[in-house]
């Protein structure tokens, strides 16, 4: 039975590398996969999924108005789709997450989503919140803070390097972000006074 999967983490944990490896495994066995990435990344990567290790692959892009169930269904009618991969899944709308759930439930195609859980303010992305609520399988992809603890938060810097705690939720320039443990994120953002943390 096909499932909807969500693998989540902070920045630079290797999500895109995992996606590309999993898709490669399907294709190596003669199976057909579809890969999607957010239109927010089109300018940076030209409709490709790219990893920090230098791996990349062609991908369809999805925007706010993309009906993923319709797009995947049309492709599946032309040529059997064995699996669907979605990078930058935090940028999915709640409706698009439900569309992907229908791909698994009604078309019988596994859907593997990879993305961030929270933004730089410590708040859930709408797509991630819906995936956490309805995905059949959840997996945390771990990376570490500079202190060696598990990184669970994302810090945003402005172009001058200063920490910022306000602004638009979406800004796709990766160099502006840093993955930190919760304690160091609180210290850096001033969300709670450092002295209160002990």
Residues designated catalytic: 88
Residue carrying the six token digits 């390097």: 161
Q: Determine the Cα–Cα distance for residues 159 and 155; give it in Å rounded to an integer.
A: 13
Cα dist from 108 to 2, 32, 63, 141, whole Å: 5, 14, 24, 25
Q: Are 143 and 179 in contact (CB under 8 A)?
A: yes
Q: Are 181 and 146 in contact (CB under 8 A)?
A: no
Contacts of residue 79, defined as CB under 8 A and 6 or more positions apart, other chains included, come to: 32
Q: Which region holds residue 105: left if phi is over 0, alpha if psi is between -120 and 50, else beta?
A: alpha
User: Residue 2 has what DSSP assignment?
Assistant: -
- Find residue 56's DSSP bridge partners: 50
């Amino acid at each position: 039975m096909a499932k909807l999967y969500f693998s989540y983490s902070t920045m630079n944990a290797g999500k895109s590398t995992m996606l590309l490896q999993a898709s490669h495994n399907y294709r190596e066995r003669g199976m057909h996969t579809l890969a999607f990435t957010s239109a927010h990344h089109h300018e940076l990567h030209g409709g490709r999924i790219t990893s920090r290790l230098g791996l990349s692959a062609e991908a369809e892009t999805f925007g706010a108005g993309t009906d993923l169930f319709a797009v995947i269904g049309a492709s599946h009618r032309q040529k059997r789709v064995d699996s669907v991969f979605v990078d930058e899944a935090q940028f999915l709308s709640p409706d698009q997450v439900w569309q992907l759930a229908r791909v698994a439930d009604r078309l019988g195609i596994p859907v593997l989503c990879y993305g961030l859980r929270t933004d730089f303010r410590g708040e859930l992305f709408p797509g991630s919140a819906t995936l956490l609520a309805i995905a059949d399988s959840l997996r945390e992809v771990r990376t570490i803070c500079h202190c060696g603890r598990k990184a669970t938060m994302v810090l945003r810097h402005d172009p001058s390097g200063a920490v910022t705690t306000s602004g638009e939720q979406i800004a796709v320039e990766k160099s502006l972000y840093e993955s930190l443990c919760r304690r160091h994120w609180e210290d850096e953002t001033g969300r709670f006074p450092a002295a209160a943390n002990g």
